[in-house]
Amino acid sequence: MSLALLLALVLWPHHRAPEVIQHRYGVEGWVLEMRTDSFTHRTDCRVHRGRLAYERQAVVFHLPRRLNTFDAAYRIDGGPLVRSRDDAADLAAQGFALSDDDLANPSDGIVRIPAHRLEGAKLVQIQPRPDDRPLNFRLNGLAATVAAARRLGCAAIGVAAPEAAADGGTHGRS
């Protein structure tokens, strides 16, 4: 090895990537994943259970991708029928893309409901398309899990880091 190369390696600034500390907790049937960046000390979290995820102040229901949920409707605890597209303005303001690039099924089987509509809710029934049988989703434990995430210092809940998408994140379906 030449002296110049050796000096370059020794004197060249070496930057280590910041360490990311990860924790995973089970809270009342939900999974709380925490990622803390050692450099910024920022903690971001992900809350999910099965086909449900809490993201950007909304609950995201991941139905089969083949379902076109553009005309989906839902009821909260047996209340009045709400068309999911009525939430579009709220969801766009929270940073959600309203459609996918697939022209045949731009919804990609996803239904999003703003969290403020679900405060205290126990059951959400979603009818993916007119004349489909409603699907039932229990929300037990969600409020406690989100509260735990906030108590533990989560700066953001449901904003997946790029690495999270590779290991079970939303895969572009948020």
Per-residue pLDDT tens digits for 144-165: 999 999 988 887 887 644 333 3
The pLDDT-based confidence of 170 (bands split at 50, 70, 90) is very low
Top-confidence residue, 163 or 29: 29
Whether 150 maps to a domain, the answer reads yes
Q: What DSSP assignment string belongs to 28-97?
A: TTEEEEEEEETTT--EEEEEEETTEEEETTEEEEE--TTS--TT-EEEETT---EEGGGGHHHHHHTT--
Per-residue confidence at 13, pLDDT binned at 50, 70, 90?
low
Q: Helix and strand tally (H, E) in the chain?
A: 4, 11
Measure the CA–CA gap between 83 and 127, rounded to whole angstroms: 10
Distance CA 137, CA 123 (A): 6
Domain assignment of residue 33, given as a range: 18-166
If residue 16 lies in a helix (H) or strand (E), which one and from where to where?
Answer: none
Does residue 3 sit within a domain? no
Q: Answer whether residue 87 is part of any domain.
A: yes
pLDDT at site 142:
94
Least confident among 32-36, 77-81, 122-126, 158-162: 158-162
Average pLDDT rounded to a whole number, residues 113-133: 93
Q: What is the pLDDT of residue 41?
A: 82
d(CA 128, CA 121): 19
155 vs 9, which has greater pLDDT? 155
Query: Region 9-28: what's the mean pLDDT?
Result: 71
Place of tokens 């210092």: 153
Q: Which is more confidently placed, 64 or 170?
A: 64
Q: What pLDDT was estimated at residue 112?
A: 93
Rounded Cα gap, residues 34 and 47, in angstroms: 9
- Structural domain contains residue 173: no
The C-alpha atoms of residue 57 and residue 74 are separated, in whole angstroms, by: 18
pTM: 0.75
Burial of 44 (0-12, 13-18, 19+ CB in 10 A): buried
In a domain, 9, yes or no: no
Residue 1 lies in a domain: no
What is the percentage of the chain residues whose pLDDT exceeds 90?
43
Residue 85 resides in a domain: yes
The mean pLDDT of 125-142, rounded to a whole number, is: 94
Domain count, the chain: 1
For residues 47 and 148, what is the distance between their CA atoms, to the nearest angstrom? 10
CA angle 96, 100, 105 (to 5 degrees): 130
Q: Does position 3 have pLDDT exceeding 50, yes or no?
A: yes
Asked if pLDDT for residue 6 goes beyond 60, the answer is: no
Please determine, for residue 18, whether its predicted confidence score (pLDDT) is greater than 70. no
Alpha-carbon distance values, 70 to 74, 83, 172 (Å): 12, 9, 18
Confirm whether 13 is domain-assigned: no
Whether the per-residue pLDDT at 59 is higher than 90: the answer is: yes
